[in-house]
Amino acid sequence: MIPAIELDNLSVLFSGRPILKGLSGAFYGRAIGLLGPNGAGKSTLIQTLLGFHPPTRGSARVLGMDVRTQIREIRHAIGYMPENDSFITRMTGIRLVRMMAELSGLPPAEALERAHETLFHLGLGEARYRDVGTYSLGMKQMAKLAVAIVHGPRMLILDEPTNGLDADGRKRMLEIIREIRDSHDTQIILCSHLLRDVEECCDEVVILKEGLLVTHCNLEAERRTNRKFIQVETRGETGVFLTRVEQLGCELAVNGSRRLKMILPETVEVRDLYHVAAETGVQIRRLDYKRDSLQDIFLKAMEGSNGRT
C-alpha cells in the first residue's frame, strides 16, 4: 500500500532558519490530522507538499510521488483549501469553480458540469451566479472547498476548514469532510487548531512542535486500546470477585474499597465481568471506559520539552 505521505528526514530552511527539522515517517490514514501550536511548521509542511517551498534536505512523497521531481503530477492528484480568504474578484461562484477545474485539466464542458454539481453538493446552488466577493464567511469557506474538490482529487489538503464558521456551518463542513473520507476515493489531510474537528474526522494524527514531529498515532488503534481500559464501581464484598477477575487475566488496581481500575486482555469482554459479578454476588454500579481523548494525546505531546518522539 502506498502511503498518503512519506517523509524522509525532511528539512526546510527559510533564510538559514530551520522551519522543519528532519521530519520522517509514513502516514497511511484515510484522514490524517495535522496538529501543532502556532509556528510548529504545519503550514510549511503543507506548502512543501504542494511544492510551494522546496525541501532543503531530505525528501517528501505524496501518494508515492516525489515533491522535487513530480510536482506537476502531485498537483493533478490533490485539491487544496487554503486557510485564508482566497478568491478572484468580480467573478461569480460558478465561473471561479469552473475556471479552477479547467486549470486542473478538465475540458470546459466537463468543468462546467462538475462546477454546478459541486456547488449544489456544498449548498451553494442558489448562490452560484453571485459574485464570490458578496458571499458570507461561511459561503466563502464552502466556495474554497468547492474549488478544492471540483476536479475530484485523490487527496484533499484542508487548512483550517472550519475557521470562522458558526455551529451549523462547522457541523455541515465536518459532515462533508467525513462524507468525502468515507467515499474511499479520496484521502484527506486536515490541518486544524480545533482538536474536536480532527477527532471527529481523522483516523491518524501527526503532531508537530517547533518543526519536529513529536507524535504520530493511529486514533483508531488508540480508541481500540482504550476500550480495554475500564473503571468499575462496585457494591458488596469484592474479595472473591477480585480473585476471579484476576484469574480471567485482567490487570487490577484497587482504588478505595469500591473503585477498581482494570485492563482487560484481548480475550475478555465486559460481559464476562458482569457474569463474574453475578456469580460472586457483587453489584456493578458503574462502569466507564477510559477516554484518552485527543486532547490528552496532544497535551502529552506538548509536555515533552525536547520535542522528540
What span, in angstroms and rounded, lies between the C-alpha atoms of 126 and 164?
A: 22
For another protein, the closer CB: 188 or 260: 188
Q: Does 4 bind another protein (CB under 8 A)?
A: no
Question: Of 161, 188, 154, nearest to 28 (Cα)?
Answer: 188
Q: Per CB under 8 A, does 135 bind another protein?
A: no
Distance in Å, CB of 25 to another protein, minimum: 23
Q: Is 38 in the site for another protein (CB under 8 A)?
A: no
Our CB check for another protein shows the closer of 99 and 268 to be 99
Angle at 166 (CA atoms; ends 165, 171), nearest 5 degrees: 85
Q: Does 104 bind another protein (CB under 8 A)?
A: yes
Task: Report the alpha-carbon distance of residue 275 to residue 289 in Å, rounded.
Answer: 18
Residues in the chain, total: 309
C-beta of 113: minimal distance to another protein in Å?
7
Using CB under 8 A as the binding rule, the residues of this chain from 52 to 91 that contact another protein are 52-53, 72-73, 75-76, 78-80, 82, 84-91
Amino acid at 152: G
For residue 236, which of 285, 278, 275, 281 has the smallest C-alpha distance?
281
Residues touching another protein: how many (CB under 8 A)? 53
Of positions 183, 247, 267, 306, contacts another protein by CB under 8 A:
183
Binding stretches for another protein (CB under 8 A): 14-15, 47, 50-53, 72-73, 75-76, 78-80, 82, 84-91, 95, 99-100, 102-107, 110, 113-114, 116-118, 120-121, 125, 147, 149, 151-154, 176, 179-180, 183, 185-186
